[in-house]
């Protein structure tokens, strides 16, 4: 197991384009850390820098307190699982898993024992003599993980390992990865753009955007107390509803905001930093709003655009006057609304988030 | 897209015409070699053997040491192909997968040699071979042919098609550059190696002028040069010369037909 410390790490490509713009991060021994963010945000690049597959332009990478900037990948005590699985096509599953140990000069008996043990953990013992082309996507992914396990690394790196699997297999593998982490108790860094994977797997999540970190925290911290509009919008499905507004008044206990249509809404946040008349955004998640009777306090009138029936829940998309995007409302399954229905959407003050003109969140109470 | 019948017939007619033009010289040589009667230079030419027999082949075997020439050709071809695959792979790998200053310039210079006809090199190569005291040796025959721009170009493309993730995985597994080349990347481009190998085999086997320039002892001639002996001894017997030519072509025809599968697979990648 290894602890990781990243100090002001920077990465520029040869053409001078910055990809990572000064990142500071600490990952504790045995922690399951998830890097999440949109495509091109730098999360995979940072993972490859940790692996030693990309040169670090500036800053320090410490593995267990030891500067690792110039240590070759194989000497960093880590193993990596790739999105494409990266299994050697001309080798059998056994040879794939044994390759690193062979290169390390281990004895044959020791290699066989390690491969057998990893195969047992991943239930792929019956596949050991097969070639990668004879395996399904899920089996290949297990072999890729097995290849990482046999090396007994201090640090596991996963680069979007479930992206190529179908939805049901992804859920199954997610559970298995969680089990694997509990069993091995090894530090793991997992890159994904899937927020469900991030929320379900990580002890902590790092949200990346444009080469820098937006926020680091536990899944629930990030979900309940996003630091800014980007994090608030990135985590959660459907994404958080945002309503552009003007600050009517604000103090340390609440904010009062006026929507473009003239509706006044209250949010329980520390709004002492807001100034009356300034621009702000009110954010509220689909699962925290509900359909209410017209004129209910802290509600806005809206018109139903369309309804998605997902079985257990229905998602109502409704248009609010003066708001460009439709608001999502999670309602009970089989909700009997149809396009054109006039409704009111209740926004409980304790669930409302407020973001200032720069997108920074006001502290939730 | 489904073709109409007239278009399909036209298509096949053109293909058949091209096929006939390609096959005709071989067929004519074969008919000449196996016939024992008739006018060789008659027009229109004879398309079917007259009084077929193997007399001309027997005569060719009697007059020149074909087995010895055959052995010499195998030796030259084997070592040419071996060194070509090894050295061209070693040249193509860094050009495809390593970052270093001047990489594009080096590759450009290699490609530039493709525009020169090989005959242009004979003089320089002969002087070089002479200075190295390699005249009259198989090394002298082999050396100028073991690096060719076409082979480097084909293998470079093959190396570029190997996914970067595999190389990264090997690097994380502890493989150094040579191990990555030898144990990961090279086995993955086997169809391409087969393609380059087959092309090199045919080229080395059929090479005529360069071995003729370098070698002077008839006992050490390869088959392609040795058959020329028939022309000297049997200047008037075109049939015996044709028989010798057929004997030269047959092994290559066998090699190509038996390895066509690999060859086509390698070429698949070339046009993707």
Q: What is the CATH number of the domain that holds A151?
A: 3.40.50.300
Check whether residue A227 and residue A249 sit in a common domain.
Answer: no
Q: Has residue B270 got a pLDDT over 50? A: no
**From the CA of B163, how many Å to the nearest CA of chain A?**
8
- CATH number (domain holding residue A275): 2.40.50.140
Check whether residue A261 and residue A170 sit in a common domain.
Answer: no
For residue A270, tell me if it sits in a domain: yes
Average confidence (pLDDT) over A274-287: 94
Check whether residue A282 and residue A202 sit in a common domain.
Answer: no
Residue B65 pLDDT level (bands cut at 50, 70, 90): confident
Check whether residue A102 and residue A157 sit in a common domain.
Answer: yes
Check whether residue A321 and residue A343 sit in a common domain.
Answer: yes
Tokens of A157: 């790196």
Of the three residues A233, A258, A283, the one that is the final residue of a domain is: A233
Over residues A243-258, the pLDDT tens digits come to: 999 999 999 999 999 9
Residue A1 pLDDT level (bands cut at 50, 70, 90): low
CB atoms within 10 A of CB A269: 25
Whether B172 contacts A51, CB under 8 Å: yes
10 Å CB burial of residue B197 (0-12, 13-18, 19+) is buried
For residue A96, tell me if it sits in a domain: yes
Chain B residues near residue A140 by CB distance under 8 angstroms: none
Strand, helix or coil at A166? coil
Check whether residue A262 and residue A228 sit in a common domain.
Answer: no
Where does B55-270 sit in CATH, by number?
1.10.3720.10
CA-based radius of gyration for chain A? 24
Domain tally, chain A: 2
Average confidence (pLDDT) over A99-103: 95
Q: What domain range includes position A18? A: 4-233
Q: What average pLDDT does the structure give for chain A?
A: 92
Residue A252 at interface with chain B, using a CB cutoff of 8 Å:
no
Q: Has residue A186 got a pLDDT over 70? A: yes
Check whether residue A134 and residue A274 sit in a common domain.
Answer: no
CA-based radius of gyration for chain B? 23
Of the three residues A233, A263, A288, the one that is the final residue of a domain is: A233
Check whether residue A190 and residue A260 sit in a common domain.
Answer: no
Q: Has residue A40 got a pLDDT over 70? A: yes
Residues in CB range of B139: below 8 A, 6 or more apart: none
For residue A365, tell me if it sits in a domain: no
For residue A362, tell me if it sits in a domain: no
Q: In chain A, what is the greatest distance between 2 CA atoms, to the nearest angstrom?
A: 77
Cα distances (angstroms) measured from residue A131 to each of A87, A135, A213, A296, B81: 9, 7, 40, 65, 30
Chain B residues near residue A100 by CB distance under 8 angstroms: 172-174
For residue A103, tell me if it sits in a domain: yes
What whole-number distance in Å separates Cα of residue B33 and Cα of residue A81? 64
Residue A71 at interface with chain B, using a CB cutoff of 8 Å:
no
Least confident of A46-50, A143-147, A167-171, B171-175: A167-171
For residue A278, tell me if it sits in a domain: yes
Residue B184 at interface with chain A, using a CB cutoff of 8 Å:
yes
CB pairs under 8 A between A and B: 53
Tokens of A334: 């089989």
What whole-number distance in Å separates Cα of residue A222 and Cα of residue A229? 11
Residue B263 pLDDT level (bands cut at 50, 70, 90): low
For residue A350, tell me if it sits in a domain: yes
Query: CATH 1.10.3720.10 in chain B, residues?
Result: 55-270
Check whether residue A161 and residue A255 sit in a common domain.
Answer: no
Q: Has residue A321 got a pLDDT over 80? A: yes
Contact A82 B169 (CB under 8 A): yes
Check whether residue A36 and residue A159 sit in a common domain.
Answer: yes
CA closest to A101 among chain B residues: B173
Check whether residue A17 and residue A149 sit in a common domain.
Answer: yes
pTM of the model: 0.81
Average confidence (pLDDT) over B74-102: 95
Whether A93 contacts B163, CB under 8 Å: no
Check whether residue A180 and residue A314 sit in a common domain.
Answer: no
* β partners of residue A245: A259, A280
Average confidence (pLDDT) over A54-74: 93
Of the three residues A179, A214, A233, the one that is the final residue of a domain is: A233
């Amino acid at each position: 197991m290894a602890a990781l410390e990243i100090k002001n790490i920077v990465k520029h490509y040869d053409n001078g384009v910055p990809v990572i713009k000064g990142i500071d991060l600490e990952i504790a021994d045995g922690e399951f850390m998830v890097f999440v963010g949109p495509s091109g945000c730098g999360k995979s690049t940072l993972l490859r820098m940790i692996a030693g597959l990309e040169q670090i332009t500036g800053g320090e990478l410490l593995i267990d307190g030891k500067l690792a900037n110039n240590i070759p990948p194989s000497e960093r005590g880590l193993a990596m699982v790739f999105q494409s699985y990266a299994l050697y096509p001309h080798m059998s599953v056994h040879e794939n898993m044994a390759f690193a140990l062979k290169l390390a000069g281990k004895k044959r008996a020791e290699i066989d024992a390690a491969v057998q043990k990893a195969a047992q953990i991943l239930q792929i013992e019956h596949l050991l003599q097969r070639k990668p082309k004879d395996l399904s996507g899920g089996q290949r992914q297990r072999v890729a993980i097995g290849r990482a396990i046999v090396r007994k690394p201090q640090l596991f790196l996963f680069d979007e390992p479930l992206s190529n699997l179908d939805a049901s297999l992804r859920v199954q593998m997610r559970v298995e990865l969680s089990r694997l982490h509990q069993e091995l108790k090894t530090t793991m860094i997992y890159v994904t753009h899937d927020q469900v994977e991030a929320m379900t797997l990580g002890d902590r999540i790092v949200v990346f955007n444009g080469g820098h970190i937006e926020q680091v925290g536990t899944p629930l911290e990030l979900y309940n107390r996003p630091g800014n509009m980007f994090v608030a919008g990135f985590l959660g499905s459907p994404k958080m509803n945002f309503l552009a507004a003007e600050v009517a008044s604000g103090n340390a206990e609440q904010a009062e905001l006026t929507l473009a249509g003239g509706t006044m809404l209250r949010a329980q946040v520390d709004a002492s930093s807001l100034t009356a008349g300034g621009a702000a955004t009110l954010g509220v998640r689909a699962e925290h709003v509900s359909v209410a009777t017209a004129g209910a306090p802290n509600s806005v009138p809206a018109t139903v655009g369309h309804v998605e029936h997902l079985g257990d829940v229905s998602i109502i998309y409704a248009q609010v006057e003066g708001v460009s995007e439709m608001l999502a409302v999670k309602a009970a399954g089989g909700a009997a609304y149809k396009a054109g229905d006039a409704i009111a959407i209740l926004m409980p003050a304790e669930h409302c988030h407020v973001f200032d003109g720069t997108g920074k969140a006001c502290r939730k109470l | 897209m489904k073709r109409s019948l007239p278009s399909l017939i036209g298509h096949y007619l053109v293909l058949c015409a091209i096929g006939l033009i390609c096959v005709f010289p071989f067929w004519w040589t074969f008919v000449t070699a196996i016939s024992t009667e008739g006018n060789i230079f008659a027009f229109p030419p004879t398309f079917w053997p007259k009084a077929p027999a193997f007399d001309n082949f027997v005569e060719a075997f009697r007059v020149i040491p074909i087995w010895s020439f055959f052995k010499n050709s195998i030796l030259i071809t084997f070592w040419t192909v071996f060194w070509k695959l090894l050295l061209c792979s070693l040249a193509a790998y860094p050009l495809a997968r390593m970052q270093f200053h001047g990489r594009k310039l080096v590759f450009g210079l290699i490609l530039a040699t493709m525009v020169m006809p090989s005959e242009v090199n004979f003089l320089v190569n002969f002087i070089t071979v002479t200075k190295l005291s390699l005249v009259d040796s198989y090394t002298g025959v082999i050396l100028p042919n073991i690096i060719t721009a076409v082979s480097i170009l084909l293998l470079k493309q093959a190396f570029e098609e190997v996914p970067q993730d595999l190389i990264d995985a090997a690097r994380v597994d502890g493989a150094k550059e040579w191990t990555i080349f030898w144990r990961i990347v090279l086995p993955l481009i086997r169809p391409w190696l087969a393609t380059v190998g087959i092309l090199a085999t045919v080229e080395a086997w059929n090479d005529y002028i360069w071995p003729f320039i370098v070698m002077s002892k008839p006992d050490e001639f390869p088959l392609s040069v040795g058959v020329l002996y028939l022309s000297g001894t049997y200047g008037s017997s075109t049939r015996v010369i044709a028989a010798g030519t057929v004997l030269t072509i047959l092994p290559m025809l066998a090699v190509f037909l038996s390895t066509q599968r690999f060859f086509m697979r390698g070429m698949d990648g070339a046009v993707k």
